[in-house]
Each structure stands twice: as C-alpha cells, then as structure tokens.
A and B are shown apart, each in its own frame.
Chain A
C-alpha cells in the first residue's frame, strides 16, 4: 500500500519558474526522503529530512516537513529543462526497519 499521496500528479512550468510538489503521509515517521526518476529508470536520492527537522536546503532544492499535518513539500527554484522527471516522496515509518514507502509521484515537465 502507498503511504504517501503527492500533489499535483502532474506539473508543467516554464524554465526559470519555481516548482512546488506536496506529499502527505499517514503514520509517524523517522524521516522523509525525496527521489527523482527519469523516464522509468532508476531512482536518484535528492534529500532526506528527519522528523525533528522542519526545513532543509540542498542547492536549488528546499524541503519542508510538518509532522503535525503529516505533510512535506519540495520546492525546486529556477527550474531547468533538465529537471524534467518524476519526483517521489518516500517515508521511513517509525517502527519499520529498512523499508521506504513511496508515494505515487509528481511528473514535472519544464519547458525550455
């Protein structure tokens, strides 16, 4: 079963604009991670935010976490055509060891 639900399912923007994707989950977590996938290939880890953190930055990425609302957002600033991909949030549920539960993903298209 999928723990996370992502919103929107698809997003289309112009190069240079910011892209925001949201993720909601159901259970208590140890951490939440974001991954990127190009055209049905392997997933690449982007960023991990722990349950006691509220915000984290990595380059053009900004992730927020609100454990009271069980939600997270991923902001990509100054998007580029190369950012076109699917983005997935994944939760490490508290009490579970070693498995991530993925959302259904947001497909981002950045038009040049």
Chain B
C-alpha cells in the first residue's frame, strides 16, 4: 500500500522563477493538505484541497496556488519565487473533511532552495 509520494525531492530555483511540486495521496485518501516548513520551524498550513476545490487556506500570498486532479493527486505552484520561499514543502493526505482533523499522513517532502 503506497503512502504519500512527493516529487521532486530536491530542487533549486532562482528568484523570480516559478515552481510546481506534486503529491499523490495515500491510497483511499481524497484530501490533500500542503504545509511549508522553514528550517528549524514547525510546519505551517498553506491550503487544503478536497473534491478538486480549495477548502481552507492559511496565511500565504496568492503567489501560492494549487490544484487537485480527479485522481486526488495535487500540485502546489509558487510564482515569483523569493529567497524566503526556501523551505521543505510537505504534502499530507487524509480522508474526507469533518469538523475534527484526524491523523494526517505526510510525504517525505520537497526541499526547495531559492538562490
């Protein structure tokens, strides 16, 4: 049973460029959440996708956008990259959306370095 898979694992970009990160949720899961984790910090919620729609969004600018496909996989896009966007980007999957957030299953992350 495949867990959450993310690609690429590492990438280097320059300021002003655009990046797309990809995530496949755990089998049987239909909800994907994205988190940004700066070095030495805890993960911060970017947004969540369910039924191909953005359901919740954290305090991130519009440069951060996403998409969910019919097979539940998801992409995170970041435009006009800044040095401060350098971080580990984590994808987490779960089943459904309820008033209580249960256990999240995380991928290994995509480490983005912006030069």
Contact = CB atoms under 8 A, between A and B. Distances in A.
B90 A2 contact: no
Contact of B42 (A30, A48, A92, A102): A102
Q: Which of A35, A42, A48, A101 has the most CB of B within 10 A?
A: A42
Interface in A27-62: 30-31, 33, 35, 40-45, 48
A103 B103 contact: no
Given A43-B90, A43-B106, A101 B56 contact: no
A97 B42 contact: no
A105 B42 contact: yes
Given A98-B50, A99-B33, A99-B45, A42 B109 contact: yes
B106 A30 contact: no
A95 B106 CA distance: 23
Nearest to B57: A99
B15 interface: no
Interface size bucket, B side?
35 or more
A45 B90 contact: no
Contact of B97 (A30, A35, A40, A98): A98
B43 A92 contact: no
Contacts of A25: none
B106 A97 contact: no
Contacts, number: 78
A96 interface: yes
B80 interface: no
A102 B58 contact: no
A92 B102 CA distance: 8
A13 interface: no
B48 to A, nearest CB: 5
A67 interface: no
B86 to A, nearest CB: 13
A91 B100 CA distance: 10
A100 interface: yes
B71 interface: no
7 contacts: A40-B109, A44-B106, A90-B42, A98-B94, A99-B45, A100-B45, A105-B41
